[in-house]
Amino acid sequence: MVGHIHTAGFCLAIFLGTVTATANAATIEPQDVVIRDAEVEASLTGSPGDPVEGSKWFKSRKLGNCLACHGNRDQIGEPFHGDIGPPLDGVADRYSEGELRAILVNAKSVFGPETIMPGFYRVFDGQRVREEFQGKPVLTATQVEDVIAYLKTLKEE
Ligand code: HEC
């Protein structure tokens, strides 16, 4: 058994493990995010997100699920737009990138403890959290940055 460990697959696994560890080095973990004056200044990953990916997380019922609460003219073709939160048309004109990041990481830090908007980059261990989300944030750091990049495209014409 142990003798078979020197396979190409095993070496590849070590290689991929090293690459992943390097890529994660710049990532700020949920418990380390600093929210100051309702802003999180720096990208959680150290790089800008991808707006095309972000638009997918925005409408995904399993991930961001932003559309369940927010209208958004840019996604007018999608079936259901909720109205629990304000429409996000032109949101890029209302908030800076750092403010959008703080809202996404932990909406309570910007809107106060009563807001019903969930925090998307916090670690939860409460009873009310679905088991798959216990102990990990709803979105990854990369997904948060993707959504921010997408929100930055939502300008009033
Ligand atoms: C459960 C409903 C809910 C979900 C899901 C939700 N939000 Fe919100 N959001 C709100 C509410 C409510 C507010 C208004 C803040 C307040 O007063 O509580 C808000 C406010 C905002 C604002 C500020 C808008 C403005 O014009 O002031 C942004 C930006 C935002 N949400 C982005 C998002 C994004 C992006 C997602 C998905 C990753 C999301 N929200 C998911 C309920 C939600």
Per-residue pLDDT of the chain (157 residues; tens, 9 = 90+): 444 545 555 545 554 544 444 456 689 999 899 999 999 999 999 999 999 999 999 999 988 899 999 999 999 999 999 999 999 999 999 999 999 999 999 999 999 999 999 999 988 655 565 666 567 788 999 999 999 999 999 998 6
Tokens of 66: 């932003």
User: Which atom from ligand 1 is nearest to the alpha carbon of 112?
Assistant: 18
CA angle (41, 92, 123) in 5-degree steps: 50
Tell me the C-alpha distance between 73 and 122, whole Å. Answer: 28
User: How remote is the C-alpha of 39 from its chain's centroid?
Assistant: 15
Q: Are 148 and 49 in contact (CB under 8 A)?
A: yes
Please tell me the distance between residue 69's alpha carbon and the centre of ligand 1 in angstroms.
7
DSSP state letters, 117-143? SPPSSS-B--TTS-GGGBTS-SS-HHH
Q: Atom 12 in ligand 1: which residue has the minimum CA distance?
A: 85
Domains of the chain: 28-151 (1.10.760.10)
Please tell me the distance between residue 21's alpha carbon and the centre of ligand 1 in angstroms.
33
Q: Is residue 147 within 6 Å of ligand 1 at its C-beta? A: yes
Q: Is residue 133 within 6 Å of ligand 1 at its C-beta? A: no
User: Which atom from ligand 1 is nearest to the alpha carbon of 91?
Assistant: 26
